[in-house]
Structure 1
Amino acid sequence: MLDHSFEQVLKDYQPLIKNQMKQLNIYTNFEEFYQVGQIALWKAYCHYEQEKGHFAFYAKQRVRGDLIDFLRKEAKYKEHNVISDAVKLHQYSIVTEHEESSYERFVPYLHLLSCREKAWFTETIIHQLKLSEIAQKYSVSTHTVASWRKSVIKKLSYMMKPEEN
């Protein structure tokens, strides 16, 4: 343990957390990653042993390591969800190259979607835009557009009864 309170350590090491995020090119989901960095600093604060070296070095390694671990988990999660979403979209025939009537199949349900959900649906189904292209078009993050997609899939899968498939 250090002689300072954690609040003081957190105040002193905020630049370290932000610097590590910058070095790792973390610009999206800033608050989430910043929280991961704060938790890592807390772990460093709790587990620091003075005889093993300087706290600053230990804190930097801990924060950087936890941020990298979280980046890996996020990448794995996104990879899994893209596959999962593709399976769900295929299952409900939302996206098919040969079936022009797939859009019409969902028209009765579109009024139940929010404006943003309709935007995702339209941009994806009709205009064949990617997540990043939709995000850029609507000036939001890809994470935000992914949440629209998730909501649409959830609503449509709930509304579409298995008998209709």
Structure 2
Amino acid sequence: MQAADKKDTFEEIFQQNERRIHFHIHKLKIRDPHHEFYQEGLCALWNAYENYKPDKGSMATYFNYVIRNRLIDMIRKQTREVELMERMSHQKMTELEDGNHVKKHDTSYPLFNMPEMNIADPRLWQQLKVQLTQNQWKWVLFHIIGDMPIKDIAIQENTTVEAVKSWGKQVRRKLRNSMYYEQLSWDL
């Protein structure tokens, strides 16, 4: 190899050292169908050409060092990206397959996970539950107590939004009736 004089252009250096890039790709057992690693090696060769200082050592050794390390850095970067994608994919699959979801039309929706609620008077809610239908109670439980959106209730219960709204209308109608309060034994 010649010393990097200012007479030597990058084209000349490239023609003399292009095989180094291929050598390191082969030596590191890199599959490069899209020539990404070759391009990275080419950039490394350019940077080495620009930054080479003849008093620091042989140009060939410096080129080998820079090209090899840039290729290894690129392998590490791609490996980190693949590991990140695998972790994200695994996390998503865990969320979908943990058993706490409802599938509807090839889409998975999480089930409502109701935290422990502090209900002021459980007896009051129990009396109300006895007087309501199962669907009306679901509306009270999920929408009123659990603050769950109507659309999510419809998905969870595998019904329409209109049906859930209807449950709510029936509950409100019952609660507006003063005779209903007497049945519930509520003193409001």
* Counterparts of residues 1-165 of structure 1 (less than 5 Å): 2=5, 3-91=7-95, 93=96, 96=97, 105-106=106-107
**1:79-106 C-alpha deviation (Å, 9 max, x unpaired):** 1111012223444x2xx3879x859525
Higher helix share: 1
Alpha-carbon distance in 1 for matches of 2:14, 2:103: 53
**1:26-61 C-alpha deviation (Å, 9 max, x unpaired):** 014451111110111011000000111111110000
Percentage of identical aligned residues: 26
TM-score (norm 2): 0.49
- Are the structure 2 counterparts of residues 73 and 62 from structure 1 closer, same or farther at C-alpha, using a change threshold of 3 Å? same
Aligned length: 108
**Contact 2:32/2:38, CA 8 A, preserved across alignment:** no
Alpha-carbon distance in 2 for matches of 1:104, 1:28: 40
Higher strand share: 2
Higher relative CO (Cα under 8 Å, sequence separation at least 6) belongs to 1
Instruction: Report the residue type matching 1:33 in the other structure.
Output: F
SS at structure 2 position matched to 1:27 = coil
Q: Compare CA radii of gyration and give the structure with the larger one.
A: 2
- Are the structure 2 counterparts of residues 71 and 55 from structure 1 closer, same or farther at C-alpha, using a change threshold of 3 Å? same
Instruction: Report the residue type matching 2:106 in the other structure.
Output: R
Alpha-carbon distance in 2 for matches of 1:11, 1:103: 61
What is the match of residue 136 of structure 2?
Answer: none
Alignment RMSD: 3.1
- Are the structure 2 counterparts of residues 49 and 22 from structure 1 closer, same or farther at C-alpha, using a change threshold of 3 Å? same
Unaligned runs of 5+ in 2: 108-150, 157-188
